[in-house]
Structure formats: C-alpha cells, structure tokens
Amino acid sequence: MESMPDINNVSKQRGSFLFWQRWLFYTSLLFALFGIALVLYGNNPLFTPYIQALARLFWHQQNIPTEFEPFLFFICGPLGATIACSYILLAYLSWYPFKRYLINGFSILQKALPLLFTWKDFKNN
C-alpha cells in the first residue's frame, strides 16, 4: 500500500519553490535595470572597471584614449541592451510559465536552436 505524501512537506516545498521563483524574478529585473543603466549612463564610476578592461584589451592602456571616447556609447549600447533583454526574458520566464508550472516550449526552442546551429563551431575550437 502506498503511503500518502506528507501535506506539511508538500507545503514547505511549495513555499521554497515560490521563494526561489520570486528571487529569480526580482534579481532578473535588477540585472535588467543594470543593462539599461549601461546603455544610458555607460560612462560613470559604476562602470569604470568595465571601461578599463576595454582599454586594456583594445589599447593596452589603463584608460580609453580621448579620441575614442565618443565611441564608448557604441560599445556600451549593444552590451547593455543585450543584458537588459536577456534578463527581461528571464524575468518573464521565471514569473509566467513557472506560475502555471509549465515549461514554455517556444522559449526552450528559442534557446536550443542557436546552440544546435553553432555546436560544430564550438566543438572544433
């Protein structure tokens, strides 16, 4: 005879699941705001380590040369937009499909196809 699941244990698991779902949702929104800030205010003290890393990588200097500073938004814009969009998608996925305990097949396909198409390139390198 099978035993019945413990109601208290199921309740604790659901509470734990809801906690981590909300944690993922709110941290995703926080990182999305970080991406938006990078797009709008890329040249501020908060992003100095990133800008210095770009300078070391491309110019082998501590700071970006002054003649290239106008192009800083060109560098920060696409990266910040990518960060924002990725985390907004993650926030959506953590809130709506998990709320109904479903896995959104379209979103899995959306993430799997690029991996499938580029797998040979990563495997060869």
Residue-wise over 101-122: b if at least 16 C-beta within 10 A, else e? eeeeeeeeeeeeeeeeeeeeee
Nearest to 75 by CA among 54, 49, 45: 54
For a pLDDT cut of 70, what percent of the chain falls above it? 82
Helix (H, G, I), strand (E, B) or coil at 2: coil
Whether pLDDT at 60 is above 80: yes
d(CA 32, CA 40): 13
Model-level pTM? 0.63
User: Of the ranges 2-16, 41-55, 58-72, 79-93, which one carries the lowest mean pLDDT score?
Assistant: 2-16
Q: Distance of alpha carbon 94 from its chain centroid, rounded? A: 12
DSSP string, 6-30: PHHHHHHHHHHHHHHHHHHHHHHHH
User: Of the ranges 23-32, 54-63, 71-80, 112-121, which one carries the lowest mean pLDDT score?
Assistant: 112-121
Higher pLDDT, 33 or 42: 33
Asked whether 69 and 42 are in contact (CB, 8 A), the reply is no
Nearest to 83 by CA among 23, 30, 24: 30
C-beta neighbour count of 27 within 10 angstroms: 14
Helix (H, G, I), strand (E, B) or coil at 60: coil
